[in-house]
């Protein structure tokens, strides 16, 4: 693993810095691996993943960058459209400028609710991102180490013809944009130490410094804040709060997901897996808790013992959310909990719960975050 980490460091320091593509590819790969994607599988000593998951990450990363017109390529400091996908992406950010920005775009894409007038542009953008990822950073990343193209990332052959669907959603991206693989050794290094690679002295700092070097008027702190921007937490929390207030009124009461005590006027919406650690605002990850319990839990990870103890209540809430917002709940669940290929209508609750437990176990035992117990 030492050699792999040394190679990754060399890639960050020595591989071409003509664009920020390599930073985005490494960051997205690490986040997908550490996010325990249900679409990961092993084959001949390599870990295989859908390219569509990279596209989804790149849409999240580059949206605020394009929206704020930050330079991301040599020669890009004059705000020309030198990034291969900037012109298409700008149409998307301009369209959503008065419609809620990144949060609304991301939500509508995931759930397959993109307005008809922007659907074709998003489809063309996703194709351009796919081609950019496969033909540029995937092709050249690691060449300074291996001396060959596609030395670290391999593309799996695909003869599938890509045609615009009636509606684009996350399932379309995952199922239609081919797959890539990395070796088991690189997977293990990214799995265990990837958070250090993307920490303050690596990808994000290099990305921010690259941008500031292109435009000296920019502040590195502002650039970092822009790069790290995610779909707004508040919007999703408010939506979940609305759902649970409806349930509270319907049942004449609401139970804290962790303590089991009745919530009166102290309703908080808790991120089961903390947003600061997981950066996830999916409906399944937002459940009701008493304010005091939520404050105590803070950025801790629910222990396996606590999850087992509260399993029935967690599943009860999931079923209610699914009943209120089925398509959004299922699409988000398919991204982070259950592969659509393994979806079992009669047993989805247990499959999803087991996946949640595995994520918690990983965060506690492998990543070293503090467990939360009551």
Q: Which of 129-143, 214-228, 271-285, 300-314 has the highest mean pLDDT?
A: 300-314
Residue-wise pLDDT for 323-349, tens only, equals 999 999 999 999 999 998 878 888 999
pLDDT tens digits for range 256-314: 999 999 998 999 999 999 998 888 999 999 999 999 999 999 999 999 999 999 999 99
Q: Quote the pLDDT of residue 283.
A: 94
C-alpha 111: how far from chain center: 15
Question: pLDDT exceeding 70 applies to what percent of the chain?
Answer: 93
Q: Is 99 helix (H, G, I), strand (E, B) or coil?
A: coil
pLDDT of 78 > 50? The answer is no
The per-residue pLDDT for 51 is 96
Query: What is the model's pLDDT at position 80?
Result: 45
Nearest-10 Cα torsion for 171, 164, 327, 297: 50
**b/e 274-311 (16+ beta carbons within 10 angstroms → b):** bbebbbbbbbbbbbbbbeebbeebeebbbbbebbebbe
pLDDT band at 232 (very low <50, low <70, confident <90, very high): low
pTM summary value: 0.76
**pLDDT per residue over 82-120, tens digit each?**
688 999 999 999 999 999 999 999 999 999 999 999 999
Where residue 201 falls among pLDDT bands split at 50, 70, 90? low
Where residue 319 falls among pLDDT bands split at 50, 70, 90? very high
User: What is the gyration radius of the CA atoms in the chain, in angstroms?
Assistant: 21
Alpha helix segments (H runs only) across the chain = 2-14, 21-34, 51-67, 86-95, 101-111, 116-135, 137-140, 143-146, 170-176, 184-197, 203-214, 220-227, 233-251, 275-278, 291-297, 304-309, 311-324, 326-336, 348-361
Question: Comparing 253 with 81, which gets the higher pLDDT?
Answer: 253
| pLDDT score of 133 more than 70 | yes
pLDDT digits (tens, 9 = 90+) for 184-199: 999 998 888 887 777 6
The pLDDT value given to residue 81 = 43
Nearest to 32 by CA among 11, 9, 56, 12: 56
Q: Residue 236's pLDDT band (boundaries 50, 70, 90)?
A: confident
Residue of 321, 263, 338 whose CA lies nearest to 294 = 263
Identify the residue whose tokens are 């998951």. 53
Q: What mean pLDDT value characterizes the chain? A: 89
| pLDDT tens digit sequence for 16-27 | 667 789 989 999
């Amino acid at each position: 693993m030492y050699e792999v980490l040394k190679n990754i460091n060399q890639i960050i320091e020595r591989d071409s810095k003509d664009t920020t593509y390599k930073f985005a590819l490494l960051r997205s790969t690490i986040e997908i691996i550490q996010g325990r994607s249900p679409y990961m599988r092993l084959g001949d000593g390599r870990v295989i993943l859908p390219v569509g998951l990279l596209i989804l990450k790149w849409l999240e990363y580059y949206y605020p960058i394009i929206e704020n017109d930050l330079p991301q390529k040599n020669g890009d400091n004059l705000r020309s459209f030198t990034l291969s996908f900037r012109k298409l992406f700008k149409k998307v950010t301009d369209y959503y400028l008065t419609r809620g920005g990144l949060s609304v775009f991301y939500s509508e894409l995931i759930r397959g609710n993109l307005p008809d007038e922007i659907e074709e542009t998003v489809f063309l953008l996703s194709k351009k991102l796919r081609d950019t990822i496969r033909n540029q950073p995937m092709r050249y990343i690691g060449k300074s180490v291996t001396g060959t193209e596609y030395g670290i990332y391999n593309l799996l052959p695909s003869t599938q013809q890509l045609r615009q669907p009636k509606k684009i959603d996350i399932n379309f991206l995952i199922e239609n944009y081919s797959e890539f693989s990395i070796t088991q050794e690189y997977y293990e290094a990214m799995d265990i130490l990837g958070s250090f690679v993307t920490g303050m002295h690596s990808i994000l700092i290099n990305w921010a410094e690259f941008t500031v070097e292109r435009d000296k008027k920019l502040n590195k702190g502002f650039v970092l804040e822009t790069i790290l921007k995610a779909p707004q937490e508040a919007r999703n929390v408010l939506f979940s709060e609305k759902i649970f207030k409806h349930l509270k009124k319907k049942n004449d009461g609401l139970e804290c997901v962790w303590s089991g005590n009745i919530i009166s006027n102290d309703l908080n919406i808790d991120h089961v897996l903390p947003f600061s650690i997981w950066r996830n605002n999916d409906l399944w990850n937002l459940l009701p808790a008493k304010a005091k319990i939520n404050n105590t839990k803070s950025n801790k990870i629910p222990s396996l013992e606590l999850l087992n103890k509260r399993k029935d209540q967690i599943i009860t809430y999931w079923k209610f959310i699914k009943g209120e917002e089925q398509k959004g709940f299922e699409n988000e669940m398919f991204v982070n909990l259950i592969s659509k290929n393994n979806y079992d209508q009669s047993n989805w609750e247990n499959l999803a719960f087991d996946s949640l437990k595995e994520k918690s176990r990983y965060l506690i035992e492998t990543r070293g975050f503090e467990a939360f117990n009551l």
